[in-house]
């Protein structure tokens, strides 16, 4: 079975541009979460979606948005990129609206560099 | 602001030795504590999810304990092997059911 997949794997953008990152969850998983990981720190929660609805949002500006599609795949959009948005963006899926007590399965991440 | 602290930040261990490290988290409004292993160039891999005070979980040579009253969890690795080299992350589920992550303990096994 395929695990969580993310695309692209790497991306270089310039300040002010926007970016769309994509994630496909494990088959049967209905919940997708997005995290930002900066070197030397743990992942920071950005969004969680379950059944196409936003279930939670972390402390990120409105430049960050996301959505989940009927097939449970998800997109993370970041507008007006800043240098500080350079990071590894991780997507994780889990079976249900797990309320944080179920295992999350992570994709390989998208490494974004903003110049 | 909820903080999850992991110590030490990094650890060098001789192959064959056993080791352990700590995750500290808020003891109020506890829901769950997660441990993950993250090898370089790979995805984070789930090790354990623990929800009850006193929980002990084991997976091969790796085990974990949980104390929710005092807000800490230990991860133990018995007889370290080179393939154990990775960053070990813990995450605490907060009252909004979101995961708050520590910065990790980087474990390096010396042959």
A25 pLDDT above the threshold of 70: yes
% chain A with pLDDT above 90:
81
User: Please, what is the average pLDDT of chain A?
Assistant: 93
Measure CB to CB from residue A42 to each of B46, B89, B93 and give the nearest one: B89
Distances A45 to A37, A61, B91, B109 between C-alpha atoms, Å: 9, 12, 11, 30
Query: How many other CB atoms are found less than 10 A from the CB of residue A58?
Result: 18
| Structure tokens that stand for B59 in this block | 């997976």
pLDDT in tens, A41-97: 999 999 999 988 998 899 999 999 999 999 999 999 999 999 999 999 999 999 866
Whether residues B44 and A106 touch (CB distance < 8 A) is answered with yes
Whether residues B98 and A45 touch (CB distance < 8 A) is answered with yes
pLDDT in tens, A26-49: 999 999 999 999 988 999 999 999
Task: Give residue B41's pLDDT.
Answer: 86
In chain A, count H helices and then E strands.
0, 11
Task: Give residue A1's pLDDT.
Answer: 60
pLDDT in tens, B22-59: 999 998 888 899 999 999 889 999 999 999 999 999 99
- Contacts by B40-44, CB closer than 8 A, 24 or more apart: B40/B86, B42/A108, B43/A3, B43/A4, B43/A90, B43/A105, B43/A106, B43/A107, B43/A108, B43/A109, B44/A43, B44/A90, B44/A106, B44/B89
B1 pLDDT above the threshold of 60: no
């Amino acid at each position: 079975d395929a695990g969580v997949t993310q695309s692209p794997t790497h991306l270089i953008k310039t300040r002010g541009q926007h970016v769309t990152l994509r994630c496909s969850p494990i088959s049967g998983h209905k919940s997708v979460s997005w995290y930002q990981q900066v070197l030397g720190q743990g992942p920071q929660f950005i969004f969680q979606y379950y059944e196409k609805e936003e279930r939670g949002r972390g402390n990120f500006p409105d430049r960050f948005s996301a959505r989940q599609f009927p097939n449970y795949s998800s997109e993370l959009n970041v507008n007006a990129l800043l240098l500080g948005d350079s990071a590894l963006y991780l997507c994780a899926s889990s079976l249900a609206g797990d309320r944080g007590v179920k295992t999350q399965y992570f994709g390989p991440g998208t490494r974004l560099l903003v110049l | 602001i909820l903080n999850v602290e992991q110590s030490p930040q990094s650890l060098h261990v001789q192959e064959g030795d056993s080791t352990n490290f700590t995750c500290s988290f808020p003891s109020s409004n506890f829901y769950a504590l997660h441990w993950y292993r993250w090898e370089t160039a790979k995805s984070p891999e789930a090790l354990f999810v623990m929800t009850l005070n006193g929980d002990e979980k084991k997976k091969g040579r790796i085990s974990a304990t949980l104390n929710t009253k005092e807000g800490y969890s230990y991860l133990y690795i018995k007889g370290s092997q080179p393939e154990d080299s990775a960053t070990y992350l813990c995450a605490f589920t907060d009252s909004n059911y979101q995961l708050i992550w520590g910065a990790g303990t980087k474990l390096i096994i010396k042959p």
